[in-house]
Amino acid sequence: MTKFIVVASSKGGVGKTTTAINLATALHGFGREIILVDANISTPNVGIYLGASKVPITLHDVLSAEKPLSDSIYILRSGLKVIPASISISDQKKARHELLGKYLQQLAGKAEIVIIDSAAGLGGEMISAIKTGDEIIIITTPDLASVTDALRTVRVCRDHNKKILGIIVNRVREDDFEIAKSNIEFILEHPIIALIPEDDTIRQANHLKSPVTYSHPNAPSSVSYKKLAAKILGVKYVESIEKDDSMFDYVLKTIGLKP
């Protein structure tokens, strides 16, 4: 059965898109069928981060009832499937976010997990995305403003009877100025399932228009995303022993196609 997981936070810029892209890529790296959806209708970034913003048919064409959902699915270099959104303002005016659930249901049976990126705020667009999820991952950074907004997101999930898979704390520096993890769990009343370090490699990966988990599989943030993916799949995380290899080389060697 396909599981729909929404990556959410009403605070902007805390790492929802970065997490959606890298969690989806890491899950796909375990050989699973995954589809990543950019359900941030008004400020979509998935296509921009992945160099896939100029595609002929986007989620917006689906939500304006002009094109079938199956025509909006593309395959990235990594093999991950993605449904990008349109960055055109006129497309955004036509798209009806309230139809998101109806159309995304068509992905049932087409992937093991659908990862859905969502918009910041607490508006209708964010609620439409939350409603599509079987489970919600809440993203926060370890500061008071972000955790406060994460609490609002937790409340929205509760209001809509949505299961929260857990909290991801992003951009962790482990310095004295961060809110303690125990306090974050206490405030948000859910466990932390991953700590993603502050990692400049993410900026390098953005420059390459690649998920950091794909272009820099051994970067600290990539390792954290891969461990999270293993946890979600209930499989053991095994660290790559050949640090200089790309994930692609690693897989080829593992299956015996490369010496």
Ligand X SMILES: Nc1ncnc2c1ncn2[C@@H]1O[C@H](COP(=O)(O)OP(=O)(O)OP(=O)(O)O)[C@@H](O)[C@H]1O
Residues at the site binding Mg ion, with contacts judged by CB under 5 A:
16-17, 45
From CA 43, how far away is CA 167, in angstroms rounded? 23
What string marks each residue from 107 to 146 as x (binds ligand X by CB under 6 A) or -? -------------x--------------------------
From CA 9, how far away is CA 118, in angstroms rounded? 8
Which of the ranges 13-21, 78-86, 122-130, 183-191 carries the binding residues for ligand X, by CB under 6 A?
Answer: 13-21
Q: Pick from ligand X, Mg ion, none: which does 124 bind, CB < 5 to 8 A by kind?
A: none
Quick check: 13 binds ligand X (CB under 6 A)? yes
Task: Determine which residue in the list 17, 146, 210, 213 makes contact with ligand X, applying CB under 6 A.
Answer: 17
Task: Determine which residue in the list 25, 45, 86, 210 makes contact with ligand X, applying CB under 6 A.
Answer: 45
Strand order in the sheet with 74-75: 74-75, 81-83, 34-38, 113-117, 3-8, 135-140, 163-172, 192-197
Distance of CA 167 to the CA centre of its chain: 13
CB of residue 126 to Mg ion, shortest distance in Å:
11
Distance of CA 99 to the CA centre of its chain: 20
CB of residue 199 to ligand X, shortest distance in Å:
4
Quick check: 14 binds ligand X (CB under 6 A)? yes
What string marks each residue from 215 to 244 as x (binds ligand X by CB under 6 A) or -? ------x-----------------------
Q: Which residues contact 252 (CB under 8 A, 6 or more apart)?
A: 258
- CB neighbour burial string for 166-188, b if at least 16 within 10 angstroms, e if fewer: bbbbbbbeeeeebbeeeebeebb
How many residues bind ligand X (CB under 6 A)? The answer is 20
Q: Please list the helix, strand and coil fractions of the chain in percent, rounded to the nearest 5, in that order.
A: 45, 15, 40
Which residue ranges make up the site for ligand X (CB under 6 A)? 12-18, 40, 43, 45, 120, 170-171, 196, 198-199, 202-203, 206, 221
